[in-house]
A and B are shown apart, each in its own frame.
Chain A
Amino acid sequence: MDKEKVFRQCTTFCILFAFWILLSGYLDAFHLIAGAVCSAIVTFLSYDLMITKHKRGGVFKLLRFTFYCGWLFIEILRAAFDVAYRVLHPHMPIDPQIVTFETPLSDDITRTVLANSITLTPGTITIDVDGGTYTVHALTSAAARDLMDDRTIEKRVTCIFQDAP
């Protein structure tokens, strides 16, 4: 048994058990033991899914990610207002188009975050991700231009997940 594996199993077990307590809300012996047994079974089956690699700078990454979530929340509100405005407008000012672009991002998690962020920000949804090539459906030409030229989202996502020094 190597140290890395034990560390991963322990962390996964603790997270799962904390989540169980949070969801059950009961603190008597029966529920705690049932939770511990269930967490142990799930840990045994899938400990290598939750924590894949032990990297440095995880705390900073988490902090940057939290800030990013705050920014994203405002963007999502803007997106919903934008769609609601276009839908309720009598003439429906939309001009949909499909655009493709390349990113140099290589990590799976980074790509997933970028794809989901594109879907949630104003006027764009991700259709397909193939390697580093993104196919995006834009509701207006302004949204498409934003994505292709400014690349704000891509810069921000790259900024979070770059490795800390």
Chain B
Amino acid sequence: MIALSNLLTVLLIGLGLFFMIAGPVGLIRLPDFYTRAHASGKCDTVGQALILLGFIIYEGFTFDAIKLLFLILFIYVLTPTATYAIVRAAYVLKYVPWKRGGERQ
């Protein structure tokens, strides 16, 4: 039983780490501001959530687990909002989005 929960924890944290690495790779490889917002917004949300979920399973049903659950919920509300805020700022400042075949910015 303990071995199973540990295995699940390792699996979830590993998957989370994969996304946390894919996010910054996207930040470097993608051509402009808007597409970079895609990479950081989505990969980071899912990566953090999966890692925290792994912690919850490792921790069992305690006060700390409930706190971690709240943390996941807050991240899910805050990341899209923050992404929206910075992308909107770029849009208002007339930042030209990259088109296929265009120059890297």
Q: Interface digits, B37-79 against A, CB 8 Å rule (1 contact, 0 not)?
A: 1110111011100000000000000010011001000001101
B53 CB, min distance to chain A CBs, angstroms: 11
Taking each of A76, A87, A88, A115, which has the highest tally of chain B beta carbons within 10 Å of its own beta carbon?
A: A87
Given the complex, which residues of B lie within 8 Å of A125, measured CB to CB?
34, 37-38, 41, 83-84, 87
Given the complex, which residues of B lie within 8 Å of A23, measured CB to CB?
67
Q: How far is the CA of A145 from the CA of B41 in the complex (A)?
A: 21
Q: Which of B42, B87, B99, B100 contacts A76 (CB 8 A)?
A: B42
Residue of A nearest to B92 (CB): A128
Q: Interface digits, A74-107 against B, CB 8 Å rule (1 contact, 0 not)?
A: 0011011001100110001011111000000000
Interface residues of B in 3-56 (CB under 8 A from A): 18-19, 22, 25-26, 29-30, 32, 34-35, 37-39, 41-43, 45-47
Given the complex, which residues of B lie within 8 Å of A126, measured CB to CB?
80, 84, 87
**Interface extent on A, as a size class?**
20 to 34
A147 is an interface residue with CB less than 8 A from chain B:
no
B88 touches A127 (CB 8 A): yes
B13 CB, min distance to chain A CBs, angstroms: 15
**Interface extent on B, as a size class?**
35 or more
A96 touches B77 (CB 8 A): no
B25 touches A87 (CB 8 A): yes
With A83-B42, A123-B38 already in contact, the answer to whether A128 and B88 are too (CB < 8 A) is yes
Interface residues of A in 14-67 (CB under 8 A from B): 22-23, 25
A116 touches B77 (CB 8 A): yes
Given the complex, which residues of B lie within 8 Å of A139, measured CB to CB?
35, 38
Q: Which of A22, A97, A120 contacts B42 (CB 8 A)?
A: A120
Interface residues of A in 105-139 (CB under 8 A from B): 115-116, 119-120, 123, 125-128, 135, 137, 139
Taking each of B38, B41, B63, which has the highest tally of chain A beta carbons within 10 Å of its own beta carbon?
A: B38
A25 touches B97 (CB 8 A): no
B67 touches A83 (CB 8 A): no
Given the complex, which residues of A lie within 8 Å of B32, measured CB to CB?
96
Interface residues of B (CB under 8 A from A): 18-19, 22, 25-26, 29-30, 32, 34-35, 37-39, 41-43, 45-47, 63, 66-67, 70, 76-77, 79-81, 83-84, 87-88, 91-92, 97-100
11 pairs from A and B in contact (CB 8 Å cutoff):
A76-B42, A84-B19, A87-B22, A96-B99, A97-B99, A98-B97, A115-B80, A119-B41, A119-B83, A125-B41, A127-B87
